[in-house]
Structure 1
């Protein structure tokens, strides 16, 4: 008999013991990313007149958020970021993270990787096409990277088990 498990453990669907920090940390990055992306989306649809960002040759949020690179196939990238973080928020709920499903894991990591690739693309556009940096956009890029790293480390440290404690 192992310590920490009941001798009458019941076989059930595979569950994952995730590190205790995984869900709160992933949710924090998602909520912060959703908030920043929502702010950028609001600014996009209101013309960016209240965009809180310094204007210089190097840092210029208005230049970045109003450039041709601020939309993809006619959809504002800020709105795409908001959708990305909303989906990731659902995928990173504790009940979703604890499921030992290879498909769900793959979907979560693939979604996050798509977000990361998009962030790298947008950083490239800022540096080499627009020649200006948006600090709010940089925050979204950083939060996307942090979310990816958090999930990756969480998977590496997760323990998958088919036994679980009976409820009650």
Structure 2
């Protein structure tokens, strides 16, 4: 059976703690996510998947397309896609550009990136995914209309980028409006 001393300790523990004259530290308050936590988690995990695929495609670019675990006959032919002239953009390998894109996007879509108080971090996320999706559309067109082959790993990156576009644009207006206040 609890005694009076135990009861008083429980009451004190339940009371909100105010600042006293010896407490110079600012009080930490829980800052809610500026967007749904599901969007934060989904965008971060999708960015990690895109980063993994981009790393694999970059390794394949420099080590030789023969390491790609993908068909090399028929419509699905990763080697034909990753060794085509369209696998370069302005002299840079598309795989390396994708890797850089996903490194930046993973940082911006990390929980810390979503909590950033700088308005331009959130603008950069939206602009980057928009540029990435335009590039994906160009690459899909190149695969289907010029190369006449499809790379499954590239398609994985395209799908991840498209889903990220949906996730990010769904929360962008609320995010940017909140950050401007």
Is the TM-score greater than 0.5? yes
Per residue, is there more strand in 1 or in 2?
1
Per residue, is there more helix in 1 or in 2?
2
3-state DSSP of counterpart to 1:112:
helix
- Determine whether 1:160 maps to 2:170: no
3-state DSSP of counterpart to 2:178:
strand
Of 96-105 and 26-35, deviating more is 96-105
- How far did 1:16 drift? 5.6
Could you say what the CA RMSD is over the residues aligned between the two structures, in angstroms? 2.4
Equivalent positions of 1:12-161 (< 5 A) are: 17-156=34-173, 158=175, 160=178
Q: Please, which runs of 5 or more residues in structure 2 have no aligned partner?
A: 1-26
With the length of structure 1 as denominator, give the TM-score of the two structures.
0.81
Which structure has more relative contact order (CA 8 Å, sep 6+)? It is 1
Kept in 1, the 8 Å contact 2:54–2:99? The answer is yes
Q: Please, which runs of 5 or more residues in structure 1 have no aligned partner?
A: 1-9, 163-168
With the length of structure 2 as denominator, give the TM-score of the two structures.
0.76
CA distance in 2, matches of 1:28, 1:41: 20
3-state DSSP of counterpart to 1:49:
helix
- How far did 1:96 drift? 2.0
- How far did 1:47 drift? 1.2
CA distance in 2, matches of 1:161, 1:127: 41
